[in-house]
């Protein structure tokens, strides 16, 4: 039976994906982003990582921190993977500009609390 991944690794997956997104869109405006298919693909892949890692966190963590938009992260991943109604580049851009910074702060704070607790 495979060993269960620690929550620390899922948090690290999320934070690494966010760092990747920030690197990819550095110095970009929407008009640059919308025509850059490589960057769009890279960002979409990392949004999927964020959603999948969020989904794989223990449910007790997601329940304990209801202020985090877990449903949005997981739902975005599902839409991107399954292509529901096509992928809106505008929505992807708005997500990375408007939602990811707060999500990153929340994840860092939760990681401090939960990983420190686990490692003691």
Tokens of 2: 């495979």
Q: For 47-88, write each residue's pLDDT tens digit.
A: 999 999 999 999 999 999 999 999 999 989 988 887 756 778
In the chain, what are the helix, strand and coil shares in percent, each to the nearest 5? 80, 0, 20
User: pTM of this prediction?
Assistant: 0.90
Tell me what pLDDT residue 120 has.
Answer: 52
């Amino acid at each position: 039976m495979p060993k269960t991944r620690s929550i620390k690794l899922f948090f690290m997956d999320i934070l690494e994906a966010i760092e990747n997104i920030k690197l990819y869109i550095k110095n970009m405006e929407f008009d640059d982003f919308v025509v850059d298919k490589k960057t769009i693909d890279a960002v979409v892949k990392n949004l999927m990582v964020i959603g999948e890692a969020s989904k794989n966190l223990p449910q007790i963590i997601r329940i304990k921190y209801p202020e985090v938009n877990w449903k949005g992260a997981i739902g975005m991943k599902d839409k991107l993977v399954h292509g529901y109604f096509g992928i809106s580049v505008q929505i992807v851009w708005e997500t990375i500009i408007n939602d990811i910074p707060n999500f990153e702060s929340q994840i860092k704070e939760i990681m401090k609390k939960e990983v420190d607790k686990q490692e003691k």
